[in-house]
Amino acid sequence: MSANNLQLYDDGRLRHLLTLDGLPARILTQILDTAESFLSVSEVERDVKKVPLLRGKAIFNIFFENSTRTRTTFEIAAKRLSADVVNLNINASSQSKGETLLDTIANLSAMQADMFIVRHAAAGAGHLIARHVAPHIHIINAGDGRCSHPTQGLLDMFTLRHYKGPFHNLRVAIVGDVLHSRVARSQIHALTTLGCPDVRVVAPQTLLPRDVENLGVHVFHKMEEGIKDVDAVLMLRLQNERMRGARLPSAGEYFKHWGLTPDKLKRAKPDAIVMHPGPMNRGVEIDSAVADGMQSVILSQVTFGIAVRMAVMSILAGNQV
């Protein structure tokens, strides 16, 4: 697989994290296990909530698209590893003056960068950068177009494993706007690689990619059937900006059929967990009573996201040529 030629060294160690598509289970599991250890760095018992692992490394958070949660948790993760972090909001910098993506990266590399965390609206932006950086520099894709969001997929796997145990016993439903969601793609790749036997996508036909079955998922067009007896419901954000198109009638109508309400959630197993990558549209894809309810683990996802990102950064930084 071409992405793996880029993101793995010849000996199979991780060099960049660009996509979960094709990434072997052994690497996914290594990241999840390592993240388990990093959870203890944030414990209340610790006076100093950081470790010296990436002392002296320069990490650049380059976001060409808006983000609060992802950018902040990457920043906190880097700081807990004692790295120096620089945040770049590219809308407000030289790119608006016409600098190309690769020129921006070349300039930052000249400032002795060790790692770039990149979010970009264009699919494959991380791959492009990975092809052009010096051998010691690592790239983490923090979301590219509709394509992939690997650290979100990983933190979702961490959350699932934390609450529900091994993947080979699980039935998981991914519900909502799968078509526009890079999160859904990363979740599907991770779940199938880790051996989850029943991965479901639950959405109206208009919000599913063509040939989605080829990804190894079961497709449901009725919410009540799709989430029946599942261990976890992974909600997706409905991208409001798409509402104007012909794909959907209205937010109210969407909520009626596809919004997760306490009533619909009763179809899942009684101890099923509810996840959401944020930001949530309350009253569109999820009812507040569910988002804030006993089965919601949405805020744990955010906390676990820090440990998972610490794991990815430290594994990458430690893997040199």
In three-state secondary structure terms, 274 is strand
Q: What are residue 278's phi and psi, to 5 degrees?
A: 75, 160
CA 42-48-54 angle, to 5 degrees, is 80
Least separation in angstroms between residue 51's CB and another protein is 4
Q: Which of residues 288-317 bind another protein (CB under 8 A)?
A: 314-315, 317
| Contact indicator for 19, 189 with CB cutoff of 8 Å | yes
Q: Which is nearer to another protein, 37 or 240 (CB)?
A: 37
Binding segment for another protein (CB under 8 A), chosen from 38-46, 192-200, 210-218, 280-288, is 38-46
Residues 165-224, interacting with another protein (CB under 8 A): none
Six-digit token string for 299: 């805020």
Considering beta carbons, is residue 53 or 289 the nearer one to another protein? 53
Residue 36 makes contact with another protein by CB under 8 A:
yes
Question: Residue type at 18?
Answer: L
Give the one residue of 9, 24, 40, 91 binding another protein; rule: CB under 8 A.
40
Binding of another protein by 47 (CB under 8 A): yes
| Closest distance of CB 42 from another protein, Å | 11
- Should residue 77 be labelled a site residue for another protein when binding is judged by CB under 8 A? no
Alpha-carbon distances, residue 132 vs 4, 57, 136, 229 (angstroms):
16, 20, 12, 47
Secondary structure of residue 135 in the 3-state scheme: coil
CB nearer another protein, residue 300 or residue 319: 319
Q: In the bound complex, what is the minimum distance in angstroms from residue 182's beta carbon to another protein?
A: 27
Q: How far is the CB of 37 from another protein (least distance, A)?
A: 4
Least separation in angstroms between residue 46's CB and another protein is 5
Cβ(184)–Cβ(236) below 8 Å: yes
- Which is nearer to another protein, 54 or 175 (by Cβ)? 54
Euclidean distance between the first and final Cα of the chain, in Å? Answer: 21
Under DSSP, is residue 302 helix (H, G, I), strand (E, B) or coil? helix
